[in-house]
Amino acid sequence: MRYFDHLRNFYRGSRKYFMSAIFLPDHKRQELSIVYQFFRKIDDKIDENEWGTHDLEKFIERFFSHWNTGKSMGDPDLDQFLILARSHKFEQDWIKAFLGSMRMDLEKHQFLDLDDTMRYTYGVAEVVGLTVCRLFELKNDCFEYARSAGRAAQWANFIRDFRSDLEMGRLYFPNSDLTKLNLPTDHESLLALDATDLKELFDMQIARYYKYYEYSTKGYRFLPWGLRMATDFSHRADQRLLRKIEAETSKPGRTVYVKQYLKVRELLSELVSSLKYLKR
């Protein structure tokens, strides 16, 4: 029953990732849904203000204690993740980096330069790619490409969630980018800008996305077909979303764009594109 609970949460949390997982063997899909649920669960605790800094620190201490001892935490989502983490030899430093990024969110960390944002991105996204490598027993040679794939996916999220993140008191684009483009760094002023005023900023971030994406594709040769298909489809869905955002920032007379989503038919269209591309 927990398996179907995981899949249901997977679908609700991200239709894109749910659809990409259909190309994976059943047992790998189940494992991936357990990993996804772990990261989603902790992220939701932070985003929904269920945890403060003290709660997070207490969780970190307890979580790694149970990782090391093998004792149950009394939470099926956490226990199943820990079973996977031990059996597939996830590095504890990966999860510590993720929880460190969650701490940054709690503290409303200000990202001064690109290196600062990259440290956050490593914890919140790149380590997810590393766990996937271990789930599929891939060689360490593919790690750098998996990290780049995670970085690209997170950059697409930064772009997509720009407005909602600002409203939560967060801004992941480096202040140095804003200063370079003569844009304000305070959130209220950014929210009040016309969408066209932000076009250069979004163009800069979209270019970064493609740089990270292009590098990640060099690692496709390491991936089994199902995982390659899932990865390619996820990127295509992100790129379709970015095209919608590019169009939105070209329309004058609008404040920062309304958050964009892909409809199921758009996702299916990208699914077909991936199939055609990978059959060549």
Q: What is the pLDDT of residues 122-145, one digit of tens each?
A: 999 999 999 999 999 999 999 999
On the question of pLDDT at 2 being above 90, the answer is no
On the question of pLDDT at 202 being above 90, the answer is yes
* Residue 94, helix vs strand vs coil: helix
Q: Can you list the positions of beta strands (E) in 63-217? A: none
C-alpha distances (whole Å) from 169 to each of 178, 182, 188 are: 16, 21, 10
> pLDDT at position 50, please?
96
Select the highest-mean-pLDDT range: 20-24, 98-102, 227-231, 271-275. Answer: 98-102
The arithmetic mean of pLDDT across residues 164-185, rounded, is: 95
**Residue tagged 């149970």 (tokens):** 66
Any idea of the CA torsion for 66, 13, 123, 43, to the nearest 10 degrees? -60
Running DSSP on this structure, what letter comes out for residue 253?
Answer: T
CATH of the structural domain 2-279, one choice from 3.40.50.300, 3.40.640.10, 3.90.79.10, 1.10.600.10: 1.10.600.10
Please, which residues have CB within 8 angstroms of residue 5's CB and are 6 or more apart in sequence? none
End-to-end CA distance of the chain: 39
> pLDDT at position 258, please?
46
Distance, CA of 180 to CA of 200 (rounded, Å): 10
Phi-psi region of 78 (alpha: psi -120 to 50; beta: other; left: phi over 0): alpha
Please state the φ and ψ torsions of residue 210, each to the nearest 5 degrees: -65, -35
On the question of pLDDT at 41 being above 70, the answer is yes
> pLDDT at position 62, please?
98
HEC string of 98-115 equals HHHHHHHHHCCCCCCCHH
On the question of pLDDT at 22 being above 70, the answer is yes
Running DSSP on this structure, what letter comes out for residue 182?
Answer: T
- Other beta carbons within 10 Å of 207: 10
